[in-house]
Structure formats: structure tokens, C-alpha cells
Amino acid sequence: MRPIWNGMLSFGLVNIPVALYAATDDSDLHFNLLHKEDNGRIRNQRVCAVDGKPVEYSDLVKGYEYEKGKFVTITDEDLEKVKVEATDRIVIEDFVSVDEIDPKFFEKPYFLLPGKKSDAPYALLRDALKSTGKIGIARVVIRTRERLAAVRVDGSTLMLDTMHFADELREPDHVPAETLKAGDREMEMAKMLINAMSTKFEPAKYHDTYKDAVMELIESKVDGRQIVQQEDHAEPTEVIDLMKFLKASIEKTAKSVDSSGSAGKDHSEAKTQSPKRRTK
């Protein structure tokens, strides 16, 4: 695994050599557009909306739409004048309690590992964060873009989570009225259901079943096997009596506990591995 960034992690006058590594994989399925008649790959063509003619890449310029249908062109030279300096530092500006941060601010995690001869100061920051229950709020430039980031502890490792800036987050169009309250009986039943379904978080048992199904479909087509459509056994229901459905859910969960020995096991059980990918 190669680092995507090398530099210094700074807080106060302390500088720690570190390296940043991706902590996630791109597991999305990617499809190509093909010509229906001969399976030829389709290439995108840039066409001018004014004259309808194809445009070469060398004739393209960047434009910002400041009003509907009105653009101002921006050159690479213009952007160089306001380019954020690609420093080799992750600068921690503040330390805050993690429970003060709304989870929707967090974006993508990275491993933040010690560089050469930096084990001692790295461990110092890690243990100090763990002892105080704090995380560091920092700025870092990744691939020419300045990012807000959180430096936190995960076991014996420091993690860096890129974060959204406040102006990137949207408010919902419809907010339920605060005066809308649930009845006492419904609340007690809901809490009973939540408690009955409560268990320890085991990430491996939650699986992308849609991706598995698509990969199985792809394997079937490659091998020339017949594709059998899955039946949908779910029946739409109209929720009229909330208590009725809460009671039914609790009874179902109780039966699950009796038969499996762990709460909610049968409704959250998932495959432990994806269908085997074909390799060339």
C-alpha cells in the first residue's frame, strides 16, 4: 500500500513526520456503454451547444455560470493566482470533543501512520488524544484542494477523516414540528422493540447484497447460465394501527432470540464474502 501524501503533522510547535494512506476501497460496480449491435465501446464526444459541432479538447476553456445562461471564462493562469499552496503539513488548529461534532460533517477516512523516526512523538499525540477524549481539527491540502480534517485515535493508530465545510451541508426541505410527540404507550413499545433488537455492532455481517446479486448476474451471463428472476415476497402494507405493528415486531424479535440466542440475528445475517470475481 503506497501513501497518497507524505509530510508533517503539526500542533503547536510539535512536528511529526507522517504518511497518509487510503482506508477505503472503491467497491462500486462500473459499467461501460456499448453499441447494441456489435458491443463496441462508446466514446463521449464534446459538442458545442451553440453550433452543434464537435469541439477538440485543445479548444475547451473553463466557464462559471454566474447567472442563468451567462458565463465568465476562467483560465489556468487565473486559477494559479488563487491556488492554495500545496504544503506538506497537516496543521491542527483546535482540539474539540468528538461528541460536539455532528456525524454528517465527516466524509472519508484515511490511515495516518508515523514516518521515519517519529514513533515516539506519534505515540505521544495518540495517547494524549486518547487520554483527553479529544480530536484535532486540522487543515490539509490533498491533490491541490484544501480540506478540513479531523485527527482522531482508532486503537493504536491515528486516523484522518476529511470533513465537509459548514457551507457544504444542506438543510432538509421538511422538518417535523417539535410539538409532534408520540403517545406514552407507543413510546414504551418502541423502546421495548429497540432494546430487543439491540446487539453489538459487527460490521462484517452487513453486506452489499445488491452488488452481490449483480456480480452473480454477471457471472451467470459470462458462463452462459440461465438467469432466473427472483420473486419479491414483500407485500405492501398500510400502517394504520401503530401499536399493532409494534407488538407484532416485538413478538417476531422474541422468537428470533429464542431460536438463535442473539437479538435480531436472523434479520441481519448476511453473507461473509462476495461472489467470486472472474479473473483473467
Give the pLDDT of residue 259. 67
Residue 21 to residue 235: CA distance in whole angstroms = 45
Q: What is the torsion angle, in degrees rounded to the nearest 10, for the CA atoms of residue 250, residue 254, residue 257 and residue 262?
A: 30
Residue 131: the pLDDT is 94
DSSP state at residue 153: E
Q: Which are the contacts of 261, defined by CB distance < 8 A and separation ≥ 6?
A: none
Spatial neighbors of 46 by CB under 8 A, at least 6 apart, are: 54, 55, 56, 57, 60
Match 423502546 to its residue by C-alpha cell: 191
Residue 143 has pLDDT above 80, yes or no: no
Whole-number Å distance between alpha carbons of 82 and 76: 10
User: What is the tens place of the pLDDT at every residue in 49-68?
Assistant: 889 899 988 899 999 998 99
Considering 133-137, 142-146, 239-243, the range whose residues carry the highest mean pLDDT is 133-137
Q: Provide, rounded to the nearest whole percent, the portion of the chain with pLDDT above 90.
A: 31
Single out the residue of 67, 66, 65, 48 nearest to residue 56, CA to CA.
48
**Cα separation, 204 vs 109, whole angstroms:** 18
| Res 232: pLDDT | 57
In angstroms, rounded to a whole number, what is the distance separating the alpha carbons of residues 18 and 6?
6
Estimate to the nearest angstrom the gap between the alpha carbon of 158 and the chain centroid.
19
Q: What is the pTM of this model?
A: 0.65
Residue 162: strand pairing partners: 108, 149
Domains of the chain by residue range: 5-26+83-165, 184-268
For 155-176, how does the pLDDT look when each residue is reduced to its tens digit (9 = 90+)?
999 999 999 999 999 888 887 7
DSSP 207-276: --HHHHHHHHHHHHHHHTPPPPPPP----------HHHHHHHHHHHHHHHHHHHSSTTHHHH---SSPPP
CATH of 5-26+83-165, one of 2.40.290.10, 2.30.30.90, 2.60.120.330, 3.90.45.10: 2.40.290.10
Q: How many Cβ atoms from other residues are within 10 Å of residue 11's Cβ?
A: 19
* 225-234 exposure pattern, b = at least 16 Cβ within 10 A, e = fewer: eeeeeeeeee
- Whole-angstrom distance between the N-terminal and C-terminal Cα of the chain? 23
The residue behind cell 484515511 is 110
Place 86 in a pLDDT band, splitting at 50, 70 and 90: low
Confidence of residue 127 (pLDDT cuts 50, 70, 90): very high
In the DSSP assignment, the letter for residue 92 is E
Categorise residue 249: left if φ over 0, alpha if ψ from -120 to 50, beta otherwise.
Answer: alpha
User: Which residue, 194, 161, 178, 201, is CA-closest to 20?
Assistant: 161
Q: Which long-range contacts (CB under 8 A, 24 or more apart) does 65-68 make?
A: none
CB atoms within 10 A of CB 139: 15
pLDDT tens per residue, range 3-28 = 888 989 988 888 899 999 999 887 77
Q: Given a cut of 60, is residue 146 above it in pLDDT?
A: yes
